[in-house]
């Protein structure tokens, strides 16, 4: 099953420890009701020094973990490229060209 949803990153104003998420991830139902579908943490690449987001998205098939990164053309905008976490031996799934995150 495929869905085309715009995720909203809502700052976690209750964050009190480093391990708590920086954002909660929400989508809107067809009636406009916000639905929490995951959490996001800010991170910095040790290799490039660029900032990115680590997302944990709750799906009916289990939790989906991905990184959301911006290339030079995307920086400063709302579009991120999605890089799924891959266990050894797994083939990467097509994550699409990008994901629109609305802050």
pLDDT in tens, 80-96: 777 877 654 544 444 44
Is residue 102 domain-resident?
no
Are the CB atoms for 28 and 35 separated by under 8 Å?
yes
Is residue 101 domain-resident?
no
Is residue 91 domain-resident?
no
Is residue 89 domain-resident?
no
Is residue 17 domain-resident?
yes
- Coil/strand/helix, residue 95: coil
Other beta carbons within 10 Å of 29: 8
Is residue 103 domain-resident?
no
pLDDT per position as a tens digit, 17-42 = 999 999 999 998 889 899 999 999 99
pTM of the model: 0.71
Are the CB atoms for 75 and 81 separated by under 8 Å?
no
Domain range for 36 is 7-84
Is residue 77 domain-resident?
yes
Is residue 98 domain-resident?
no
Quote the number of domains for the chain. 1
């Amino acid at each position: 099953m495929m869905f085309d949803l715009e995720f909203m990153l809502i700052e976690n104003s209750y964050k009190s420890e480093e391990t708590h998420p920086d954002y909660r991830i929400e989508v809107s139902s067809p009636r406009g009701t916000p639905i929490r579908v995951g959490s996001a943490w800010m991170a910095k690449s040790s290799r490039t020094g660029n900032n990115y987001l680590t997302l944990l998205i709750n799906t009916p098939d289990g939790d989906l973990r991905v990184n959301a990164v911006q290339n030079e053309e995307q920086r400063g905008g709302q579009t991120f490229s999605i890089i799924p976490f891959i266990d050894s031996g797994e083939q990467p799934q097509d994550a699409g060209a990008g994901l629109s995150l609305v802050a």
